[in-house]
């Protein structure tokens, strides 16, 4: 059975596995380890800036997305994270997570949702563009990667 549920910090290890197994381009190029990822997720829960939603297939967490319920502008918010385990990609799960976040944000009264992604992430950018996200701007040196393209592109969708 598949369902999307709200996640708390008890899911830190399972979220780490999703990040690791999603094989994000930037993580791979920069040799980011599983332990780095676990610390990253722990820090994000400690900051408390994100609402985490996970996609469960039977009892396995196979993807997640997060919403930051604030972004500069009038009733704007940000989809901060989206990842699906590689072996479950291209089955519509990323799309379901995006729709869930958009619907949640809309119900909360947000007008626009923004997201950043890597300028060189061609497939990811076309994935967002096909789902109604429009390019707003680009930001050189946005990411703290040690190597590779650090430029981010900002996308927006009207809810
Ligand atoms: C980006 C990401 C979240 C997409 O997740 P996903 O679950 O593969 O997304 P979907 O399956 O909904 O869509 C991916 C493609 O598969 C296609 N697809 C969906 N269901 C399908 C199916 N049953 N059979 C074949 N293809 C299918 C979709 O049409 C889509 O292609 P399109 O963009 O040309 O329309 C995933 O690739 C990922 O985790 N990447 C690594 C982390 C990352 O880059 N995150 C974003 C950084 S900002």
Q: What is the pLDDT of residues 93-126, one digit of tens each?
A: 999 999 999 999 999 999 999 999 999 999 999 9
Q: How confident is the model at residue 157 (pLDDT cuts 50, 70, 90)?
A: very high
- In this prediction the pTM is 0.96
**Res. 148 pLDDT band, cuts 50 70 90:** confident
If one counts the domains in the chain, the total is: 1
Domain extent at residue 67: 2-158
pLDDT tops 80 at residue 147: no
Best substitution site from 127, 131, 148 to test ligand 1's pocket, by max atoms within 8 Å of Cβ? 127
Cα–Cα distance for residue pair 102/47, rounded to 1 Å: 22
Q: Using the predicted structure, report yes or no on whether residue 40 has a pLDDT greater than 90.
A: yes
For the Cβ of 90 lying below 6 angstroms from any atom of ligand 1, the answer is: yes
Say if residue 12 is exposed, middle or buried (CB neighbours under 10 Å; 0-12, 13-18, 19+): middle
Largest Cα–Cα distance of the chain, in whole Å? 42
**pLDDT, the chain, mean:** 95
> What's the confidence (pLDDT) of residue 137?
97
- The CATH number of whichever domain residue 107 belongs to comes to 3.40.630.30
Atom of ligand 1 nearest to the CA of 124: 1
Angle between helices 12-22 and 34-47 (to 10 degrees): 130
- The predicted pLDDT at position 32 comes to 87
- Residue whose CA is closest, atom 15 of ligand 1? 90
- Alpha-carbon distance of 106 to 98, in angstroms, equals 12
């Amino acid at each position: 059975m598949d369902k999307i549920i709200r996640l708390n910090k008890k899911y830190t290890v399972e979220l780490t596995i999703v990040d690791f197994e999603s094989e994000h381009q930037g993580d791979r190029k920069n040799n980011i380890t599983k332990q780095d990822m676990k610390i990253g997720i722990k820090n994000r829960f400690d900051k408390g800036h994100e609402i985490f939603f996970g996609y469960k297939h039977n009892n396995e967490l196979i993807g997640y997305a997060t919403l930051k319920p604030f972004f500069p502008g009038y009733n704007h918010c940000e989809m901060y994270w989206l990842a699906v385990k590689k072996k479950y990609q291209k089955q519509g799960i990323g799309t379901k997570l995006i729709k869930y976040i958009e619907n949640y944000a809309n119900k909360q009264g947000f007008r626009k949702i923004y997201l950043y992604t890597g300028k060189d992430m061609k497939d990811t950018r076309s994935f967002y563009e096909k789902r109604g996200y429009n390019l707003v701007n680009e930001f050189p040196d946005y990411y703290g990667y040690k190597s590779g393209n650090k430029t981010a592109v900002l996308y927006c969708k009207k809810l």
